[in-house]
Amino acid sequence: MRIKIIILLIVAILSVAGLFYVESRQEFSVQEKNVASEEYWRSQIGARGAKNAYDDITLFINSNDFSKPKAHELIHVFGGALYESEGTKGLSLCRIDFSYGCFHEFLGRAIAGHGLAVVGDLNRVCIDTLGGDAHFCQHGVGHGIQTYFGYKEGDLLEALKVCESLPENDPIGGCRGGIFMEYNFRTMLGAEAHPRISDDIFSPCSNLYGNDQLACHYWLPDWWSRDLQEKDNDPEDILRQMGANCKSMSNGSGGLLETCFMGIGNIAVTISEKFNIGVSELCTFASAESGLAEKCKIGAIR
């Protein structure tokens, strides 16, 4: 009960800011601030309807050629306004553009507000709305579930049990993907968001089994990369270290090593855009002649 109360207080505070994003808060010009306001989009949804308002913010973002983090933050703001205006039925209006920010914000608030009883219905809406792309939406469900339970290792295990009960979920990128990203980065704590700290680079994966363990190893490189990028601005060094980390695991059987390299490929896409260097070259750095570059490339297009 105490955790639930804390979560609801956090959501209430963050509804003003409209921000559930792990990167530092983006700066908006004076003329952009209305559009970065959740209150503004609530009023637009009320006046013009949710679909028209969504079209408006999409046009605004595309017309201003915003960076991906800024575009993602803005659509997060809209996702919050959409949930507060339409309730859970508004989920079907979210789209996959701008790194799925509408889904993330909307689903996080819905689960925090309604509890686990609504998770099954939200998962079904993801499937019915997006079909083969449902995992993008289910990823947001995972974020909400982990936030609901909290951030201790025992909370992770409870969250994964809920995820396991949901039908038609991608074993790596769907609900489990959202759970591990939220566990690793606490993104939905808004201004209090921070990556988890551990001296064990393979925690908590060694205590998991089956698909949970596979998904955990897939999302580890994303966690490693945040710290590595803060310490080093050389993409070759960053990718080589992540590759070395994967190869240093004591148990690489059952596809864990290959899955770890696929996770490197996943984060290599972001690093490629940041440093303007090709994903294929980054994967070659990570592989270091180990023959795992192809697994990395698969992760980049997954």
pLDDT at 16: 33
Judgement on whether residues 201 and 191 belong to the same structural domain of the protein: no
User: pLDDT tens across 110-150, in order?
Assistant: 998 999 999 999 999 999 988 988 998 999 999 999 999 99
Q: Which residues 6+ apart lie within 8 Å of 220 measured at CB?
A: 201, 202, 205, 245, 246, 260, 263
**CB of 194 closer than 8 Å to CB of 186:** yes
Judgement on whether residues 288 and 145 belong to the same structural domain of the protein: no
Q: Pick from 196, 215, 243: which residue ends a domain?
A: 196
Judgement on whether residues 80 and 163 belong to the same structural domain of the protein: yes
Domains of the chain: total: 2
pLDDT at 88: 92
Judgement on whether residues 227 and 160 belong to the same structural domain of the protein: no
Judgement on whether residues 122 and 266 belong to the same structural domain of the protein: no
Q: Pick from 162, 196, 230: which residue ends a domain?
A: 196
Judgement on whether residues 228 and 185 belong to the same structural domain of the protein: no
**CB of 45 closer than 8 Å to CB of 85:** yes
pLDDT at 29: 56
Judgement on whether residues 220 and 155 belong to the same structural domain of the protein: no
| pLDDT at 8 > cutoff 50 | no
Judgement on whether residues 253 and 275 belong to the same structural domain of the protein: yes
**CB of 239 closer than 8 Å to CB of 264:** yes
Before 69, cis peptide (omega within 30)? no
Judgement on whether residues 270 and 137 belong to the same structural domain of the protein: no
- What is the domain range of residue 103? 1-196
pLDDT at 32: 66
Q: Which of 78, 91, 92 is nearest to 45 (CA)?
A: 78
Please compute the mean of the pLDDT values over residues 206-221 and round it to a whole number.
95
More confident residue, 3 or 177: 177
* Verdict on whether the full-model pTM lies above 0.85: no
User: pLDDT tens across 169-194, in order?
Assistant: 998 989 999 999 999 999 888 778 88
Q: Pick from 136, 162, 196: which residue ends a domain?
A: 196
**CB of 235 closer than 8 Å to CB of 271:** yes
Judgement on whether residues 40 and 179 belong to the same structural domain of the protein: yes
Judgement on whether residues 98 and 38 belong to the same structural domain of the protein: yes
User: pLDDT tens across 32-75, in order?
Assistant: 667 888 999 999 999 999 999 999 999 999 998 888 778 888 99
